[in-house]
Amino acid sequence: MVKKYFGIKYWKGQRLLLLAFLLVHTIASFYYNSQQNITFDEPNYIEYAKRWLHGQPERIKKLDDSKSPVIAICWLPRMVKQVINPNYQLNDYGRQDQKDGRYMMILFSFLAALYVYRWCCELYGANESLLPLLLLLFDPLFLAYSTLITTDLASGAFMVALLFHFWRYLERRTWKHLLLAAFFTGLAVVTKQSALFVLLLLPVMSLLFQWVNKERLNGVRLLTSGILYSLVVVVVVNTAYYFKGTFIPFGDYAFVSQSMQGLQESLSFLHWMPVPFPESFIQSLDMLQRQSEIGGGTTASSYSGVYILGNYKANGGYWYYYVVLLFYKMPIGTMLLLIGASVLMIKNFRLHSFGNRYQFLLLPVVYFFVVLSCFNKFQIGLRHLLIIYPLLFIGVGYVFCQLKTFGLPVKATAYGLIAYSVITMLLYYPDLIPYTNELIADKAKVYRKVFDTSIDYGQSDSAASRFSKQHPAYKLPVAKPTPGKYMVMMGEMLDYNLRDRQVYPWYQQMKPDSLINHVILLYDIKEENLRKAGL
């Protein structure tokens, strides 16, 4: 029987499959969550959210620069427990609250998944929408961050939602979609400051849409919609910070970054102008800009610098950073399907179709990829691409939309690539953060290609501690080449300190006996090994 779901016609079995995919994704996420240590950034995110819940959104610590109020959702389990038992207390330095709070982050995963499914339905029809959704839900990167207390996946969820509604507004001119687009834009900006760049892209897409449809500009409607959109965004951002410090005169800000100080000085004639955003929001932009100016690897820095392919920069990034990460960390099956979708889109390119439908996927992906690759000094993990990651899987759906024009061999290959991607994820599960595809054959030498939070986000620290207690014969690494049994975290054998730990590069010349959790290397080094290595 045919019904409607999300405004799309579907067969009853398709809804059951959708629910089944979401259920399995939830189970996989929750089990994964139970096996992972709290990562580096999560305590800072949750601590800021705690202060925000107490009405204190001010940024008082160096690492508060990128933290967001939306993370406060992770405190819901603790709040419920406190309501049920007002005397409820813990003395574990917040560890249980952090673990419980992770389960709430799955809501952002659901939001992203449902918008990917809805968008695919709109573009390709319900029959072709479940397969790209399956790829997304069981993608190593998406699944790994589905329950981590960070803003990366949440920003991707809000980005795909705002772009969908913006597309729908231009197509249907309904105020509902305009308001929803503005609402999700406000949430995206509150969640991750880099989302501000979308405000430069939306007018471009709007003009392209009107140009390909030969629409005449309606000045009154353009002005009205622009004011309404801006007003909603401003209200959402202000509400997120309790309207604290809103309308502080521009000249009264004490900026810490040189660029913001320079802007303030050059615009001295606007010192009287009230800034319509909360002080904490402006402060976050200023602090991030200051970190960008300082660079990584210093005591004043909030990050250790940028590392890729064995190269390191304390201040600056590499234009090819995310290209390399995708090349080694995206499942090969997904990568080939994405390449196939790109080839088919180019082959079937029609300007009218592009302007009406596909620009809302392709332009944001290209735009943010360029911004993050060329104008971003904080290149410290593939997780930053989660802001556009769901859009890639909507694009992959184009392959399945076109499959009906191909024979059985091509169809079997496409379905086989999906299975291959899921299987390669399962080979790593539940240690998904350090996932790399088969293009890196020797997993003990992953660090020669990629590292930082893309491999070690602190998720295996507790596993290393347990192993050390259970196997006391294995010692911690030493600076001087010495025979013995050693347990070495992959980051400790780099040439550069990326984890605030001392490094011991001489272990690179030794062959490890085994690899645990894909980041813990075990060595049994003998005198003979040292002689052969010339140490």
Residue 92 has pLDDT above 80, yes or no: no
Q: What single string gives the DSSP state of each residue in 454-497? A: GT-SSTTHHHHHHHHHH-TTSBPP-SS---EEEEEEGGGGSSS-
Q: What is the average pLDDT score of the chain?
A: 93
As a three-state string, the secondary structure of 87-136 is: CCCCCCCCHHHHHHHHHHCHHHHHHHHHHHHHHHHHHHCHHHCHHHHHHH
Torsion sign, CA atoms 488, 490, 494, 496: negative
Q: What is the pLDDT of residue 10?
A: 54
Mean pLDDT for 264-280 is 95
Q: What single string gives the DSSP state of each residue in 394-439? A: HHHHHHHHHGGGS-HHHHHHHHHHHHHHHHHHHHHTT--TT---TT
Mean pLDDT for 453-474 is 94
Q: Please calculate the CA angle 205-210-214 and round it to the nearest 5 degrees.
A: 150
Given phi > 0 = left and psi -120 to 50 = alpha, else beta, which region is 44? Answer: alpha
Residue 1 has pLDDT above 70, yes or no: no
Burial of 269 (0-12, 13-18, 19+ CB in 10 A): exposed
Strands 311-313 and 514-516: unpaired
Measure the CA–CA gap between 24 and 189, rounded to whole angstroms.
Answer: 31
Residue 222 has pLDDT above 90, yes or no: no
Q: What is the pLDDT of residue 9?
A: 52
- In this structure, the dihedral spanned by the alpha carbons of residues 274, 280, 282 and 283, taken in order and rounded to 10 degrees, is 130
| 3-state class (DSSP) for residue 499 | coil
Q: Which helix (H) or strand (E) holds 514?
A: strand 514-516
- High-pLDDT (> 70) share of the chain, %: 98
Measure the CA–CA gap between 301 and 62, rounded to whole angstroms.
Answer: 8
pLDDT, tens only, 285-309:
999 999 988 888 877 888 889 999 9
pLDDT, tens only, 388-443:
999 999 999 999 999 888 889 999 999 999 999 999 999 999 999 999 999 999 99
Query: What are phi and psi for residue 441, nearest 5 degrees?
Result: -75, -45
Question: How many Cβ atoms sit within 10 Å of the Cβ of residue 381?
Answer: 25
Measure the CA–CA gap between 471 and 217, rounded to whole angstroms.
Answer: 72
Q: What is the pLDDT of residue 4?
A: 52
Would you state the structure tokens that stand for residue 292, as one six-digit string?
């960008």
Mean pLDDT for 209-229 is 90
H-only helix segments in 275-407: 279-294, 321-329, 332-347, 351-353, 359-374, 389-402
Measure the CA–CA gap between 152 and 524, rounded to whole angstroms.
Answer: 39
Measure the CA–CA gap between 528 and 474, rounded to whole angstroms.
Answer: 19
